[in-house]
Amino acid sequence: MTTTPSTAPDILSPEFAADPYPAYRTMRADFPLIHHHTTGGYIISRYEDVARAFKDPVFTSHNYDWQIEPVHGRTILQMDGREHSVRRALVAPAFRGRTYGRSSCPSSSATPGTSSTPSGTRRKPIWWASTRPAFRST
């Protein structure tokens, strides 16, 4: 007879960070729905349940409206059905592989403190610029 663990794996633990796969197996077998108290969120661990949640209108992103809309206006996160599909089709090409290949992420040939751009020029990465004040005090 196998015993069921009494608590769900801790997704914020060093053990999980080092090797999450045993925890994933435990979650799928014994904890299909986990309320993670530290993050305040829920984890759905089984594929079939996740697929159902994506299709069921009771699970919605509309509960973020009060946070997102005052700052950004209406976003694609708040849209459903055809409205969402049309907007997604407009932005999806920007997230495809060819676009990522042209990104200005530092490459292995870049020297520390700089990164390569698509045009071959060198520039300082954002983290470098953000560690220095944008103004000079007198």
Of 130 and 33, the one with more pLDDT? 33
Given pLDDT bands bounded at 50, 70 and 90, which one contains residue 103? low
Check pLDDT > 90 for residue 104. no
> What pLDDT is recorded for position 100?
56
> What pLDDT is recorded for position 131?
40
What angle (nearest 5°) sits at the alpha carbon of residue 101, between those of residues 95 and 103? 80
Given pLDDT bands bounded at 50, 70 and 90, which one contains residue 19? very high
